[in-house]
Amino acid sequence: MAVSKDTRQALVRTAHALADAARIETLKLFRQPGLFADNKHASGFDPVTAADHASELKMRELLAQLRPDDAILGEEFADTPGTSGLTWVLDPIDGTRAYLSGTPTWGVLIAVDDGDGPIFGIIDQPYIGERFIGGLGLSQMTGPMGNLPLATRGPRPLDQAILFTTFPEVGSTAERNAFETLAGQVRLTRYGTDCYAYALIAAGQIDLVVEAGLKAFDVQAPIAVISAAGGVVTDWKGRPAHRGGRVLAAANPVIHAAALAVLATAPDP
């Protein structure tokens, strides 16, 4: 859908206001004694903390004031319908396991979806103070080093590439096999950085992120940020990935094609 200049500016202002508010809420409990997590699933460990809830609630409160006609899709609470055609896609803490562990690789994810996918996104790391933004004509990061433009790395062979994923156990057996085949062809594979890995693609530090089993709120902000910086994000068959599932994020179309040729061998779930 077409978005006017005034609306674009309002969306960017609102997204930054949400990120500012989420920083405050998430930092209240980060690395604090007695931080407790509930488990959202009977099998395995899918933690949620009071900070996840507080962060999303604060962002929802702000949206009710600033953008009451927009819909909201968030991780922790029920969907809120809207009439504008725009949906805010929120992950109040992406990487709650990292949050619990005290590692600063978790982040707050905020995206605006116009019905065809994200048109703007923020990846915010409150503890480090880094914010990566992309879309609506913007592509930049702010942090301790100041304001810097975002630009992904140029093409390079797979055997020179750096690959990230969150968990060594990637999805199903077939998905894991495809990932391990790709990992065997790259120079370096690293694990456990959650949404920060996507920010590193946009910042020109790494080449690939491969994941499976994601939700829309896990990937929409990264798609917007990486795309604006010159990268490519699809599923493992080259299709749109903004609804989640299997995700391949790449620094450029050349290395995306090389990685896709490996991952596409995995059968559809």
pLDDT of residue 36: 77
Question: Which alpha helices (H) appear in 184-265, and where do they start and end?
Answer: 196-202, 216-228, 253-263
251 and 173 housed in the same domain? yes
The CA–CA distances, whole Å, from 234 to 113, 158, 243 equal: 16, 18, 10
pLDDT of residue 39: 80
11 within some domain: yes
pLDDT of residue 41: 67
Query: With 90 as the cut, is the pLDDT of residue 47 above it?
Result: no
110 and 170 housed in the same domain? no
69 and 126 housed in the same domain? yes
Mean pLDDT of the chain: 95
220 and 136 housed in the same domain? no
Boundary-marking domain end, from 148, 174, 191: 148
123 and 18 housed in the same domain? yes
202 within some domain: yes
Query: With 90 as the cut, is the pLDDT of residue 38 above it?
Result: no
pLDDT of residue 1: 76
Q: Are 233 and 223 in contact (CB under 8 A)?
A: yes
Q: What is the CATH number of the domain that holds 48?
A: 3.30.540.10
Q: What is the CATH number of the domain that holds 186?
A: 3.40.190.80
Catalogue the E-assigned strands of the chain: 37-39, 47-49, 71-74, 87-94, 107-113, 118-125, 130-135, 138-143, 146-149, 162-165, 188-191, 208-215, 232-234, 244-250
Look at strands 146-149 and 130-135 and give their pairing: unpaired
| Total count of domains within the chain | 2
Query: With 70 as the cut, is the pLDDT of residue 42 above it?
Result: no
- The tens digit of pLDDT for each residue in 150-197 reads 999 999 999 999 999 998 788 889 999 999 999 999 999 999 999 999
Helix (H, G, I), strand (E, B) or coil at 268: coil
What's the domain range around 213? Answer: 158-263
1-10, 54-63, 125-134, 153-162 — which is least confidently predicted? 1-10
112 and 164 housed in the same domain? no
The C-alpha atoms of residue 268 and residue 264 are separated, in whole angstroms, by 9
Query: With 80 as the cut, is the pLDDT of residue 45 above it?
Result: no
Q: What is the pTM of this model?
A: 0.96
